[in-house]
Chains A and B, each alone.
Chain A
Amino acid sequence: MAQNPPNNGRLVIKLVAVVLGMFGFGFALVPLYDVFCDVTGINGKTNPFAATYEVQDIDTSRTITVEFITRTNTGMPWEFAARTRQVQVHPGELKTVEFTVHNPTAKNIVGQAIPSVSPGTAALYLNKTECFCFNQQPLLAGESAVMPMQFYVDPQLPADIEIFTLSYTFYDVTETSSTVAMNRG
């Protein structure tokens, strides 16, 4: 072999460390992506936790239209609708919207609503103080419910956004949800 035995082992260990690190990085991309989304508003993901409303100046010079879309996914038999198709709010103003949901089937179902906002940047300025999407929602067979969603729009909302759309898609998560939730009724 070569005259000065090269230290292959150490280099291999370093390279393997890089490989393992990059494998980990692949998984780290998952939370990183969420952070990235929070910062840039990619994909219109809203904050999954409740915001607290502090009384603030309401900017009455601007009126924002918020549009609601209600959908249920394949295999989700619920009837799901927004009481109002759209609302007008001033930035900073606290607003409550009610959604109705009905389980027409003969079985108990747990649902999870997934929100999405378009344009995505608006998601950064949408603060929900109360939302049915924060938790899984169990409905007994034949049960109906009115679910409130309370939100305010941050006055920092960019001036070019006058309307944005908030969509909720209900998924049937009965199989994966904990039975505790089901025993509520």
Chain B
Amino acid sequence: MARGVLTAMLATLLSAGAMAQPSQLNLRKGVTDISSQVYDLHMTIFYICVVIGILVFGAMFIALIFHRKSRGVKPANFHESVKVEVAWTVVPFLILIAIAIPAANTLIAMEDTSKADVTVLVTGSQWKWHYKYMENDVEFYSVLATQPEQIRNKFNKGENYLLEVDKPLVIPTDKKVRFLVTSDDVIHSWWVPDFAVKKDANPGFINEAWTRVNEPGIYRGQCAELCGKDHGFMPVVVVAKAPAEYDAWIAEQETIQRKAKEEEQKLLAMNMDMTELMELGSKVYQSSCAACHMPNGEGLPGVFPGLKGSAIAIGDMTKHIDVVVHGVSGTAMQSFGKQLSLKELAAVITYERNAWGNNTGDTVQAKDVNAVLTGK
């Protein structure tokens, strides 16, 4: 029985290995030289295991079939054989050496991060990724784009359910891209299966990994280290573009980000009214705050504090702004000063001070937030 199940399942696994595109059954070959080396290693060791399995289980099932008491056999009495025992200690050892050599070579190649063309600082935080291009003035957060309604089964799930983000990381093909990986809070792990890159993001420390993508395309992965409540909801999406397209993209991003900063300064003088603030604030709250403080502002008692009627949300406004823009050290409350624009910050703080019956009547403007951020 066990053998039947086993052979059937091995057969499906083998046939899956033959399929070309990302398989539902097997490791993918990926789009880098390293990932295809890794795939070959995986298949080699898999076949070695299959062969050993067939030999061992074969011998066992022969014994089970032919050396049964019901066939009237008399049991032999041998119980040791130095020769055989030495053989089955030494032979596996040699097989291991044969596996270890190519594995070591691949590993050494994977860890060689020198001579990179592009360097990206990847920072994990609960539950989003931040990408910063070290050679350019471009940085942004990358957050899950799947609608909460899809997760709550109210809408139909899209094709890339849970594997889509608002702003993917963009990297050039045929260039060595180095990733410096770190974290702002707990340990995360940045993983793109198609690159065979998985590196832990440790708070306070940086790790390195690299890739050289051969084909343009969109590659999806996920956070691989348990990082709290929404660990399952922080995907990684990487778009690989041809170098010329990448250069155009990064130049465009630099302009956009510079302009946005200039715009922001202009907005300081502008005042928004309560309705506008509440409308925008509600949106920002749902995307940036609701994961912990919950859509109804009640939080998760004992884990994440509620905002409804909380001392901060109905107390001193400057303190409230300070908590939102700078975060609270030693807690899960992160700093949103760089994640959101001044306008969004003003709106979301206004929203928190007036939603769910908090009704302070306060409106917060971009200049108030800016004052706390810059100390002016």
Contacts and interface: CB of A to CB of B under 8 A. Distances in A.
Is B truly associated with A?
yes
B96 to A, nearest CB: 24
Nearest to B326: A77
Nearest to B208: A118
B205 interface: yes
Interface in A144-185: 160-163, 165, 167, 169, 171-172
B174 interface: no
B334 A74 contact: yes
Contacts of B335: 74-77
Contacts of A160: 112, 114
Contact of A162 (B111, B114, B205, B207): B114
B56 interface: no
B189 interface: no
A48 interface: no
A69 B134 CA distance: 9
A105 B319 CA distance: 11
A119 B335 CA distance: 28
A88 to B, nearest CB: 15
Interface string B88-112: 0000000000000000000000011
A74 B375 contact: no
A66 to B, nearest CB: 13
Given A162-B115, A163-B114, A75 B329 contact: yes
Nearest to A69: B121
Contacts of B375: 103-106, 141-142
Interface residues of B, number: 39
Interface stretch (B25-33, B44-52, B179-187): B179-187
Interface of A: 43-44, 67, 69, 71, 73-77, 85, 103-106, 114, 116-119, 141-142, 160-163, 165, 167, 169, 171-172
29 contacts: A43-B205, A67-B134, A69-B134, A73-B203, A74-B328, A74-B331, A74-B335, A75-B326, A75-B327, A77-B335, A77-B373, A104-B375, A116-B182, A116-B204, A116-B205, A116-B206, A117-B206, A118-B180, A118-B207, A119-B208, A141-B375, A142-B375, A161-B114, A162-B114, A165-B208, A167-B180, A167-B182, A169-B182, A169-B204
Interface of B: 111-116, 119, 121, 123, 125, 134, 180, 182, 184-185, 202-208, 322, 325-331, 333-335, 337, 372-376
